[in-house]
Amino acid sequence: KTYIVIGAGILGASTAYHLTKTGAKVMIIDRQDRGQATVAAAGIVCPWLTQRRNQAWYKLAKGGAKYYSSLISQLEEDGETETGYKKVGAISIHTDEIKLEKMEERAFKRLEDASEIGEITRLSNEESREKFPPLAEEYSSVHISGAARVNGRALCQSLIRGAEKHGATLIYGNAALIFNENKVTGIKVNGEAYLADQVIVTAGAWANELLLPLGINFLVSPQKAQIVHLHMGETDTSEWPVIMPPNNQYILAFAGGRVVIGATHEDDKGFDTRVTAGGLNEIYSKAIAVAPGLSDSEVLETRVGFRPFTPGFLPVIGAVPGYESLLIANGLGASGLTVGPYLGAELAKLALGKPLEIDISLYDVAGAIESLK
Ligand code: FAD
C-alpha cells in the first residue's frame, strides 16, 4: 500500500517514520512554512506536574513522554544519534513552600502510574541554584529526574532521515488533495500528481486550507508564540535542568551555552510571523525576574511558531468523516513535542489497520469539523 503524509513537523515525521518501518511505501510532502511549530518549540518533556484536569489530554501527554525512550533507541538502531533528546531533569520552582509541597504531592500521586517520572526530590534554594546557577536566590524547587529536553528540529530531521533510510521519499512543496466525489485518491504538488491508497494530513496550524476544497471547515487555530535563544559564552550549560517557574514561561538550556526563554501565548494574531516589542518585553522581564543571572547573556535569535489548537485544547486523530482514504491528526497545541512522536506512531497503526494503544474515540475528529455543504 502507498501512503502520502502532508506536513513534516514532528507529527508527520513520526507518522512517516513508523509507517515506512513496516515496509509501507511512503511519500512525505512539506511546505516548510515559516512558523512551523516543531522548529520553534522549546523542547520540554515534563507533563506530569500539570494542573490541567483533562484526563484524555493527560493520557496522551503521559504516553508521549513514556514513548521517548523506545523511540530514541529505535532511531539509534537506524544510525540516528543526533536526536537532540536528553534527560536532564526539571526543577519546578516557587517561593512558597506550601505550593511546593502541593506540587511534590501531585508528582508522587502521578508517579503511581508513571514510573518514568523518575526521582522526585525537594531542593532548597541553594541546591536549586547549584543545578541552575542563573536562578534568583529566593526559589526552592521540586526536582523531577525523568524530565527531558529535546531539540524539535533535530528530532524531526532524524525521524525524516530514518524514514528515508527505510525507503520514504520527501518532496518540498505545497500539497493539495485530489479527490473524486467522496474518495481522496492522492495529492498534487509542484505541478505533479501522485496517487496513494491513503492520504494523511498532519499539516499543523495550516490544515484548514487543505480541507476547504472538500467543503470542510477544519477548526484548527494558530496560537502565535515568540521564543528567545540566548548564549552564555563559555558556561557549560549541557547538564542544566529545565526550569518551570510559577508564571506561564519557562527556561531551558542546551549544550554549548544556549539558553532558551519564553514563550508568548498570542491568540487571534493569525499567521503573523513578526517579532514584536511587546512579545520580547514579556519574555525578557519574566525570565530575568526568575533568573537574573541571564541578564548578561547574548541574544542569538527569536523564533516564532504557531501552536495548532483544536476545540477544547484537545488533539484529534482519525478518519475525516464523509471521506474515504483520508486520515488526519492535529491539535497538539503547547505539548506537541511531548505527544507528537507517540501520536504519530499511533496514527501509523491506524493507517495500517492495526490495533491502537489509545482510545481514539476520546479524540474524535468530528469535534473539529464543520461541514460547509
Ligand atoms: P508543525 O510542526 O507546525 O508542522 C506542520 C507542517 O505542515 C509544517 O512544516 C507546514 O509547512 C506543513 N504544511 C502545512 N500545510 C501544508 C501543505 N498544504 N503542503 C505541504 N506541507 C504543509 N511542545 C512540547 O511538548 N514541549 C515544549 O516545550 C513546547 N514548546 C513550544 C514552544 C513554542 C514556541 C511553540 C510554537 C510550540 C511548542 N510546543 C512544545 C508545541 C509543539 O511545538 C507543537 O505542538 C508541535 O510541534 C506541532 O507539530 P505538528 O507536526 O502538528 O505541526
CA of 19 to the centre of ligand 1 (A): 20
Q: What is the pLDDT, as a whole number, of residue 60?
A: 97
For CATH 3.30.9.10, list the domain ranges present in the chain.
87-147+222-306
Please state, rounded to an integer, the average pLDDT across all residues of the chain: 97
CA of 303 to the centre of ligand 1 (A): 13
Tens digits of residue pLDDT in 293-317: 999 999 999 999 999 999 999 999 9
CA of 339 to the centre of ligand 1 (A): 11
Q: Is 209 helix (H, G, I), strand (E, B) or coil?
A: helix
Topology adopted by domain 87-147+222-306:
D-Amino Acid Oxidase; Chain A, domain 2 (3.30.9)
Grid cell of 28 as nine digits = 512525505
User: How many angstroms separate the Cα of 62 from the Cα of each of 104, 132, 300?
Assistant: 17, 26, 32
Cβ neighbours for 115, distance < 8 A, ≥ 6 positions apart: none
For residue 11 and ligand 1, the question of a CB distance below 6 A is answered with: yes
Mutation probe of ligand 1 site: the residue of 194, 209, 332 with most atoms within 8 A of C-beta: 332
* Nearest ligand 1 atom to alpha carbon 307: 36
Query: Taking the C-alpha atoms of 243, 245, 248 and 249 in order, what is their torsion angle to the nearest 10 degrees?
Result: -40
Q: How far apart are the CA of 331 and the centre of ligand 1, in A?
A: 9
pLDDT at 285 over 90: yes
Report the distance separating Cα 133 and Cα 115, nearest Å: 28
Phi, psi for 221 (deg, rounded to 5): -125, 140
Q: Cell numbers of 322, please? A: 464523509
**For position 11, what pLDDT does the model report?**
98
Ligand 1 atom nearest the C-alpha of 329 is: 52
For 87-139, the pLDDT digits (tens) are 999 999 999 999 999 999 999 999 999 999 999 999 999 999 999 999 999 99
Nearest to 63 by CA among 116, 129, 19: 116
How many CB atoms lie under 10 A from the CB of residue 173?
15
Tens of pLDDT, residue by residue over 187-213, are 999 999 999 999 999 999 999 999 999
Q: Is the CB of 151 under 6 A from ligand 1?
A: no
Share of the chain above pLDDT 70, in %: 100
344: left (phi over 0), alpha (psi -120 to 50) or beta: alpha
Alpha helices in the chain (DSSP H): 10-21, 37-40, 55-77, 97-111, 125-131, 152-165, 207-211, 277-290, 336-352
Confidence class of residue 51 from pLDDT cuts 50, 70 and 90?
Answer: confident
Inter-CA distances, 346 with 60, 316, 354, Å? 11, 12, 9
CATH class of 2-39+153-220+311-371: alpha beta
214 within ligand 1 shell (Cβ under 6 A): no
Whether the Cβ atoms of residue 130 and residue 241 lie closer than 8 Å to each other: no
Q: Which of 18, 38, 199, 266 to mutate to test the pocket of ligand 1 (most atoms within 8 A of CB)?
A: 38
Task: Note whether 203 and 7 are within 8 A (CB).
Answer: yes
Per-residue pLDDT at 66: 98
Q: Which pLDDT value is given to residue 189?
A: 98
35 lines ligand 1 (CB under 6 A): no
User: E strands, 232-357, where?
Assistant: 242-244, 250-253, 258-262, 298-309, 316-319, 326-330
Q: Give the model confidence (pLDDT) of 139-174 as tens digits.
A: 999 999 999 999 999 999 999 999 999 999 999 999
pLDDT recorded at residue 53: 87
pLDDT at 52: 86
Chain centroid offset of residue 80 CA: 19
Cα of 99 from ligand 1 centre, angstroms: 32
ipTM greater than 0.95, yes or no? Answer: yes
Task: Say what percent of the chain tops pLDDT 90.
Answer: 98
Nearest ligand 1 atom to alpha carbon 224: 36
pLDDT at 373 over 90: no
Distance CA 15, CA 340 (A): 9
CA distance 53 to 23: 39
C-alpha to C-alpha distance for 68 and 147, rounded to whole angstroms:
11
Task: Check residue 73 and give its pLDDT.
Answer: 98
- What does the alpha-carbon distance between residue 104 and residue 298 come to, in Å, rounded to a whole number? 34
Out of 10-19, 47-56, 275-284, least confident range: 47-56
Amino acid type, 340 = G
Query: How far, in Å, is the centroid of ligand 1 from the Cα of 11?
Result: 8
173/187 Cα distance (integer angstroms): 11
Element (H, E) at 2: strand 2-6
Strand partners, 90: 144, 242
Whether the per-residue pLDDT at 354 is higher than 90: the answer is yes
Q: pLDDT value at position 77?
A: 98
SS3 51: coil
What pLDDT does 372 receive?
Answer: 86
Q: What order do you get walking across the sheet with 2-6 strand by strand?
A: 169-172, 25-30, 2-6, 198-201, 326-330, 316-319
pLDDT digits (tens, 9 = 90+) for 221-245: 999 999 999 999 999 999 999 999 9
Which part of the chain has CATH 3.50.50.60? 2-39+153-220+311-371
